[in-house]
Amino acid sequence: MEVLSTARAFGGTQGVYRHASVVTGTDMTFAVYVPDHAPGAKLPVLWYLSGLTCTHANVMEKGEYRRACAEHGIVFVAPDTSPRGDDVPDDEAYDFGKGAGFYVDATQEPWARHFRMRSYIEQELPALVAAEFPVDRDRQGITGHSMGGHGALTISLRNPGRFRSTSAFAPIVSPMNCPWGEKALGGYLGEDMSSWRQYDACALIKQGARLPDLLVDQGTADNFLDTQLKTQLLDEACRKADMPAQIRMQEGYDHSYFFISTFMDEHIAWHAERLNK
Amino acid sequence: MEVLSTARAFGGTQGVYRHASVVTGTDMTFAVYVPDHAPGAKLPVLWYLSGLTCTHANVMEKGEYRRACAEHGIVFVAPDTSPRGDDVPDDEAYDFGKGAGFYVDATQEPWARHFRMRSYIEQELPALVAAEFPVDRDRQGITGHSMGGHGALTISLRNPGRFRSTSAFAPIVSPMNCPWGEKALGGYLGEDMSSWRQYDACALIKQGARLPDLLVDQGTADNFLDTQLKTQLLDEACRKADMPAQIRMQEGYDHSYFFISTFMDEHIAWHAERLNK
């Protein structure tokens, strides 16, 4: 692992790192914030998965998470959203290819070699982070925004017990039922929709997957709410499954980091309650 | 004034605006954050002047000021750092020309027509902001970073009584005594150094200008500390003048927005104490 940069921030260290990923077959870059801590201490870790077009840098620059992470003693990890590099296939659209890995393991050509963000986020990066940073793997939380909210929900639902806390900002809740998801899952996984269900939070809940609880914030002025995000599908799935979920509609907020940063403090405090007990 | 964008954030509105500036002879863009407030209320206003290469957007995206401004009921204004546009002369260096207005009224060609950031920030923009936003002109504070810290200090020192509170993050404290300042003042004002003094915080203090108090944060790991910023010159000038100043050296912090955002809360609280009493 190579250190690209570190900076002192809020009584901790914000770093950016790069490593050669075996899973994606590319170099991968990610950001980690580590609050100051006692020598030898292991801190809880919060994973943040970003949305379409983002890298590790968007939340690092605009997410306003460091103050609350320092206060609660939480390590914050922000991965990239896809493999990168000249050898990696791409698409000219913003919602497919680079910057749009959708947290799946692609099975279709030309994507299958590099677009393996599921295995990267579920397996490879956690092992690297545990080896290189002072984190307690028994105290992990996960969150994300939009496509990354979809990633957080589905990764947590598929790995029961791994995450003590799960939340999301304006998540895509059912990619099988929105244009972004249909395009991405069809492109990466092919036309057989039975393979899509493991990547659809609502379908996973319908099939019996459960979380102990869930916090979701969604802005009412989000341009993608009606066509892509469809928060009500998650609300319905949780109600039918009798799964506890706080799904909060935030009046007037849009899809941007102005929205995310506003509620970041509350999400981190919510994770901290579950990670620090 | 044209509204370029608005977004809900931290229980207030973050907007970006553009207007045709008479002073600079160009369109100028600026950002304003307005916390929600009672109808008809006039709020105190904090001016934030940005550093070299920045626009209004840097602090808007990375400054982490909205939570504290909402808490204290303070309007936050972030202007650009220079005129912009195809007709505006420029220099290929990052530290002269566009993005490097240095908050002076240029007298030298080809800069004199457009590079009038002193008059823009001191006169034209305050009048526009007072006309268009719910601000109380009797309760103004000013701060800034690096070149913008220089701007905040010199504008406040030259306009006694206008600002109830003045602070700075890693300011250039004596442009007459550093390469950035010598280049900018020489280029915009010409070789006669007597015209430079009005743009040098230390020189203004030596000449008798005073602030009631002052808060400055400076990172010890700032790459520009020894060669450009020279914080100790401000410390010496304040001591000799018996002018109260809290100049805090922050261990391990650099020149970036990771540093600024860390101490933004404390600066806003410090301004709020003086603006809200």
- B18-54 burial by CB neighbour count: b if 16+ within 10 A, else e? eeebebbebebbbbbbbbeeeeeebbbbbbbbbbbeb
> Are the C-beta atoms of residues A25 and A52 closer than 8 Å to each other?
no
Asked if pLDDT for residue A115 goes beyond 90, the answer is yes
* A90 in B contact zone (CB under 8 Å): no
Q: Give the one of B7, B11, B262 whose C-beta lies nearest to A256's C-beta.
A: B7
Residue B156 is among the residues annotated as catalytic for this protein: no
What is the predicted pLDDT for the residue at A183? 97
Per the residue annotation, which of B80, B95, B217, B222 is the catalytic one?
B222
For residue B257, name the pLDDT band (cuts at 50, 70, 90).
very high
Q: Give the one of B62, B221, B253 whose C-beta lies nearest to A61's C-beta.
A: B62
- Nearest-Cα distance to chain A for B221, in Å, is 9
Residues in contact with A175: Cβ distance below 8 Å, sequence separation at least 6, in sequence order: A102, A150, A181, A182, A184, A185, A196, A199, A200
Asked if pLDDT for residue A277 goes beyond 90, the answer is no
- Condensed to tens digits (0 to 9), the pLDDT of residues B17-71 reads 999 999 999 999 999 999 999 999 999 999 999 999 999 999 999 999 999 999 9
- Condensed to tens digits (0 to 9), the pLDDT of residues A134-179 reads 999 999 999 999 999 999 999 999 999 999 999 999 999 999 999 9
* A266 in B contact zone (CB under 8 Å): no
> Are the C-beta atoms of residues A121 and A49 closer than 8 Å to each other?
yes
Inter-CA distances, A274 with A42, A133, A141, B91, Å:
16, 21, 8, 54
Q: What distance in Å separates the CA atoms of residue A29 and residue A20, rounded to the nearest whole number?
A: 9
Average pLDDT over residues B106-120: 98
Q: Give the one of A7, A61, A258 whose C-beta lies nearest to B9's C-beta.
A: A258
Phi, psi (5° rounding) for residue A247? -110, 110
Q: In terms of CA atoms, which chain A residue is nearest residue B260?
A: A9
- Condensed to tens digits (0 to 9), the pLDDT of residues B124-165 reads 999 999 999 999 999 999 999 999 999 999 999 999 999 999
Average pLDDT over residues A12-26: 98
B262 with A62: Cβ contact below 8 A: no
The secondary structure of B237-261 as a DSSP string is HHHHHT---EEEEETT--SSHHHHH
Gyration radius (Cα) of chain A, Å: 17
A8 with B259: Cβ contact below 8 A: yes
B10 with A254: Cβ contact below 8 A: no
- Nearest-Cα distance to chain B for A218, in Å, is 13
> Which residues of chain B have a CB within 8 Å of the CB of A9?
253, 258-259, 261-262
Closest CA to B149 of B181, B189, B193, B114: B181
Asked if pLDDT for residue B277 goes beyond 90, the answer is no
For residue A186, name the pLDDT band (cuts at 50, 70, 90).
very high
> Which residues of chain A have a CB within 8 Å of the CB of B259?
7-9
Specify the pTM. Answer: 0.97
Average pLDDT, chain A: 98
B residues 180-239 closer than 8 Å to A (CB): 219, 221
* B262 in A contact zone (CB under 8 Å): yes
- Nearest-Cα distance to chain A for B252, in Å, is 6
Element (H, E) at A251: none
Closest CA to B79 of B111, B47, B101, B53: B47
